[in-house]
Amino acid sequence: PYDVLVVGGGPAGAAAAIYAARKGIRTGIVTERFGGQVLDTMAIENFPSVEYTEGPKLAASLEAHVRSYGVDVVTAQRAKALQPAAQAGGLVGVELESGATLRARTVILAPGARWRQTGVPGEDTYRNKGVTYCPHCDGPLFKGKRVAVIGGGNSGVEAAIDLAGLVEHVTLLEFDGKLRADEVLQRKLRSLPNASVHVNAQTTGMIGAAGKLAGLTFTDRGTGEKRELQVEGVFVQIGLLPNTDWLKGAVTLSPRGEIGIDDRGHTNLPGVFAAGDATTEPFKQIVVAMGGGSTAALSAFDHLIRHSAP
Ligand code: FAD
């Protein structure tokens, strides 16, 4: 069995594997693909000490770093179930879709998340060409431009407030008749001179020209009127879905499906830790995920020295 088995090869899982392997313990990592969401990212400009890099490049360096420690890397495999230890200090099982079960003294869950998409025509065509999901990542690219935010929950309204400080104008579109964000955020948004809000707005398409986004279309659900908004950027903020369906019933998940962890990365199960975008960690960013992965690995090591036979 492994001393530490990491599930998920994004920034959180990679950092966890590096920290575990550096303790000289038997470490494995099983992942559908190495790099996670980073593979889908072009420019990365908020990784401290690296002014600019690109997702595929960062993913390749992460994989090389993990492999340099002799970690057992299993890719193109999905975990489908977690089998808690039968008794305290026993082995935890990770069942793969292939049918095999990997066993480990400790497991670190880092399966990440994916952005919920609008599904309207044009979203795929203009993804990363104006359509984006991450204000912290891509906000500065739209300095001085007109943008829209789709989604009136806390993340949408926070994104609009954040963007208003950078862009010429931000329009927030909400499908429902009212915003769902906390009142204090709504008040702040409404106080900004360069922000406007449309409720009852059903986005129907993203439009563009010459391979670049030029705007979006929406229907006013109150009047049935079809409208068009000219913007160079659209930030879709309608939810981040954790990849945790396979963990239901095995570990405690929040109402949003996020793995519940404490500040040491412990889940509710002894010997099972978690990190990154799949967890209740509030900030979904590369460096935050890496920090979480490192914390989880150090906690797993702490667990091993307390619970393993000498
Ligand atoms: P992920 O990166 O999601 O990795 C999880 C991994 O686990 C994936 O490889 C997945 O295939 C695998 N996996 C999932 N389920 C299973 C399973 N059942 N079995 C096996 N493997 C599984 N953050 C920044 O800090 N700066 C940026 O500029 C930035 N830009 C972004 C741009 C885009 C387009 C996107 C989508 C995200 C961006 N982010 C950025 C956010 C950042 O990518 C994430 O916060 C970070 O990747 C989360 O890391 P993670 O390891 O928790 O999860």
Q: Is 114 in the pocket of ligand 1 (CB under 6 A)?
A: no
pLDDT class of 309 with cuts at 50, 70, 90: low
Q: What pLDDT is attached to residue 307?
A: 86
Q: What pLDDT is attached to residue 201?
A: 98
Give nearest CA residue, ligand 1 atom 47: 37
Q: What pLDDT is attached to residue 40?
A: 85
Which string of b and e fits 137-160 if b means at least 16 CB within 10 Å?
Answer: bbbeebeebbbbbbbbbebbbbbb
Q: Cβ(52)–Cβ(28) under 8 Å?
A: no
ipTM associated with this complex? 0.99
Q: Which mutation among 18, 41, 95, 251 tests ligand 1's pocket best, with the greatest number of atoms within 8 A of CB?
A: 41
Q: Cβ(271)–Cβ(251) under 8 Å?
A: no
Per the listing, tokens 């990770």 go with: 94
CA of 114 to the centre of ligand 1 (A): 7
The alpha carbon torsion through 290, 74, 241, 50 (nearest 10 deg) reads 30
In the chain, the percentage of residues whose pLDDT exceeds 70 is 99
Q: Is 36 in the pocket of ligand 1 (CB under 6 A)?
A: yes
Distances (CA, A) of 62 to 65, 106, 169, 245, 304: 5, 22, 38, 26, 25
